[in-house]
Structure 1
Amino acid sequence: MAFPGPAFLALWNDVTPQHAHEYNRWHTREHVPERVGIDGFIEGRRYRHATPGQREYFTVYGANAPEVFRSQAYLNVIEDPTPWSVNMRLTLTHVLRAPCRTLGSAGSGTGGALACVRIHGAAPAPQAVSTLLAACAALDGVVAAHLGEVFTAQPNAFARWTAAEMPTHVLLVESEDIDVARNLSAGIGARVVDALPVLDTPNVDVYSMIFAIGHADVDASLRRTR
């Protein structure tokens, strides 16, 4: 099944500066693969910012159903973390976590960079979703675009990370490289305003991909059995 699938989980965060090196090792070597190894996950991707002033890291997981983010297998990983995860959770700051039902996608393939748009607004009509995604996918240098509607799936361990700026929708626009994503960010935001019933100006963050792994590629040693 192609990324992101019927659902995706979007996460933004910073990390205390003195732990940045260990964070990146942990996130690539254990954290993302451990989750992607769970049945129902399609792929995990992690990104780093290209613009000062926004959250430094963005991670997104694709799944074959929204229920995957409420599954017992996923909750087991969260509620029974590894010792490394226990230590690293203490270093995370400014965490924002948004599970989404995928409303639609346009284009195909994987881009090396991402314009990630946090949207606050009412539920869009299907035609508005199609119009927005087609407009984004048609931009020169864009590979694919995906729109998700945020739903509630907050494990108890993450309750402290509930944020006032939780979006209602998340738009992911994959581009060829970071220069394309940066140059198109204002135009993407304008297309969101034109197509969707937004309540305020969308937040557009720009990231470069630093790691991706698919479900089938996760080493057996990182697959949790409970």
Structure 2
Amino acid sequence: MKRRWQLFWIIEIALTMVLGYQIVTNPASWIGVASGLIALVIGIKGHFWRTFWLLLGGVLLAVGIFINPMIWVILFVGLVGALFGLSGKHGRRLPWQQKHYAAVHVVAPTTKGGTTTRHPWFGDETIGSSTYEWDDINITVAAGDTIIDLGNTLLPQGDATIVVRKGIGKTRILVPVGVGVMVDHSALAGTLSVDGAECGLHNQTVRQYSDDYDTAKRRVHILTNVLIGDLEVLSV
């Protein structure tokens, strides 16, 4: 959590520097900011029309700042950070913090006519609730925590594939013991943990293989791409 807040403040400071550059390079913006500051100084130190000067200064300063598109990005990032902070403080979960559980359950086999699956942007989801044999998993999530449990399915001999694309959030994949694992994980910021061995990523791609990958009869390829988030692969 501390590292996430450090990343948040680094992003905010960088965006603020970009905002400052936009202000000084935009004549309308810096004239509005300078005029607003002058009016505020007159209102604070002056004794005539004080309310007028303070109001005029506030309006000019706000206009000079808010005509720059970067201020809206700063406010949006700040709002997201505030929501995360409030949710952790009061023990509440925001929509993108809700966990969805992906597991395949055994039912009667069906004919192979092709399928179309709709995934939610946020919230809970169960993948493979109406299939008998294994189907490769390919999901895209805007934000949220994801759990994929392979313990309730029959992995075919040979290679199986899991593809996860995500904006923000943690992904946890439970793999049965004896299944060979190849992990190809890319992240802007986050950590990768494979059976307890953890490493940090900063705009990096890491590929790891389990010790029994070459000899295992069943293998799973895990391909994940996230902006900010952790990936944990655990043998159970």
State whether TM-score is above 0.5: no
TM-score (structure 2 length as normaliser): 0.21
Select the structure of larger CA radius of gyration: 2
Higher relative contact order (CA 8 A, sep 6+): 1
TM-score between the two structures when normalised by the length of structure 1: 0.22
